[in-house]
Structure 1
Amino acid sequence: MLRTLPDPHHLPAFDAAYAHAGFATHLGIDPGDPPRILMLYGSLRERSFSRLLTEEAARLLMQFGCEVKIFDPSGLPQPDSPEAVGHPEVEELRALSLWSEGQVWCSPERHGAVTAVLKNQIDHIPLAIGAVRPTQGRTLAVMQVSGGSQSFNAVNTLRLLGRWMRMITIPNQSSVAMAYREFDDAGRMKPSAYYKRVVDVMEELVKFTLLTRHHSAYLTDRYSERCETGHKAEAARLAQDSGAIA
């Protein structure tokens, strides 16, 4: 199910004086509809710092003119379990991935890797549903939170997953160390260099999404797949001709 974003327009740590406005205008392109961004986070704790960081990033994306949806993973079954077949939460997640033009994945680092909660969500999204690819060509931004010193193990794993899912993963990323120090009692991120990096990452995601939104199909078009499609079409034609002759 979708998570409701508290205080969506309240940005106490954001200084609008230093923010770009009208990314599409700066890029010299037609903005069209608002960029559609799906956000996934990787912890079910009541005070989940990956969720709080995701929500902070979501507010920034809304400030930048995006339509944002945050998926709540609390109701997802395990992949490949009998309960997963036709499960409404699984179907919703796949539909949201199809809806999105870009995504944000945010995970805590646990045992030097992403959490099962985040990986569970990605594992429910197949590379292909028939002829439709729910992730291919979408832009992706990756973030992580850590309880200790700064690390990049989780974001590195998320980059690997993004590449495997055939997504356009942007260069910038966010890794927030000692996350328990970076959020106030209300769950809002305090002003810091970490917060500024989150702004950087979300700005870059919007730019890449706008730049690639009309070109993602071409950018992800593959010679090997064109060959395979051509061979299948030729085989079907030959089979049809043989049937007509018989």
Structure 2
Amino acid sequence: MSDLPAAVEQHLKHPDMVALRPPVSTHKPRILILYGSLRAVSYSRLLAQEAGRLLEHFGCEVRIFDPAGLPLPDAEPVSHPKVQELRTLSAWSEGQVWISPERHGAMTGILKSQIDWIPLSIGAVRPTQGKTLAIMQVSGGSQSFNAVNQMRILGRWMRMITIPNQSSVAKAFQEFDADGRMKPSSYYDRVVDVCEELVKFTLLTRDASGYLTDRYSERKEAAEKLETLTGNKAL
């Protein structure tokens, strides 16, 4: 063993290339899209729909969650139908897209409420751990990155694999036509880039997500709990 006196040798595992290449799933990547506005004319919803079309073109099965009727976090029990719908979709997904308007220099409370209703852990299960995530924002004025920066932090806290690329659509009211379709532009091209990259990362990681998120500290903690329960140090 290396000179690592603070480590517990039996829980130190060398990264395994074979484990990183498990059998490949053949079903379509499952992507959930969340957006952060309830307005009748919602540019984050229009962008969500545009992203959904692109993801379906790239071979994904897509669900878009409608946040209308979702209660504020802790205002209702988790048995509320909209909370259950959101949690079921989150569990179903292998990757997610979060899209928020920037309001007062931040992501909206509507999107944050959706994320807050998704549990970080349920017992020993971490529902979002290892899922891929893409982030986008829309702005009414000049281009900004405050909302995507906040969402990137949240993605890390949810233990998600947030892709490097992101999209920020400035003056969003100018970027969609009367039918709600996004016009050709460099902003649209970046949205295509983000969706394409999300699919690639999802295909690359979904079958190995359990191994990618298998951690020394958690293996060690689980063994210590089992030892406490059984009194058997050999376990």
> TM-score with structure 2 length normalisation?
0.87
How many positions carry a matched residue from both structures?
A: 210
- Report 1:67-106 matches (<5 A): 67-81=61-75, 83-106=76-99
- The correspondence of residues 1-246 of structure 1 with structure 2, limited to 5 A, is 30=24, 32-81=26-75, 83-238=76-231
Identify the structure with the greater helix proportion.
Answer: 1
SS of the equivalent of 1:162 reads helix
Q: Any gaps of 5 or more consecutive residues in structure 1?
A: 1-28, 240-246
Q: State how far apart, in whole Å, the 2-side matches of 1:221 and 1:193 are.
A: 39
The CA deviation at 1:134 is 1.4
**Residues 38, 97 of structure 1: 8 Å contact kept:** yes
Distance 1:45 1:224, change over 3 A: same
What is the CA distance between 1:238 and its match in structure 2?
Answer: 1.5
> How many Å apart are 1:213 and its aligned residue?
0.9
Q: CA deviation at 1:95?
A: 1.1
Measure, in 1, the Cα distance between the counterparts of 2:124 and 2:130.
14
Q: What is the identity, as a one-letter code, of the residue corresponding to 1:103?
A: Q
Give 2:16's aligned residue. none
Read off the aligned partner of 1:34 and give its amino acid letter: K
* Distance in 2 (alpha carbons) for counterparts of 1:128 and 1:152: 29
Q: How many angstroms does 1:138 deviate by? A: 0.2
Q: Show structure 2 runs of 5+ residues with no match.
A: 1-22
Identity of matched residues, % = 72
Tell me the amino acid that sits aligned with residue 209 of structure 2: S
The amino acid that maps onto 1:37 is: I
Aligned to 2:5: none
TM-score (norm 1): 0.83
- Partners in 2 of 1:171 and 1:80 — Cα distance? 32
**Kept in 2: contact 1:77–1:84 (CA 8 A):** no
Alpha-carbon separation, structure 2, partners of 1:30 and 1:86:
35
> Does the CA-based 8 Å contact 2:25-2:207 persist in structure 1?
no
Bigger Cα displacement from structure 2, 230-239 vs 206-215: 230-239
Contact 1:78–1:84 under 8 Å retained in 2: no
Aligned-partner Cα distance in 1 for 2:78–2:160 = 25
Q: 1:225, CA displacement in angstroms?
A: 0.9
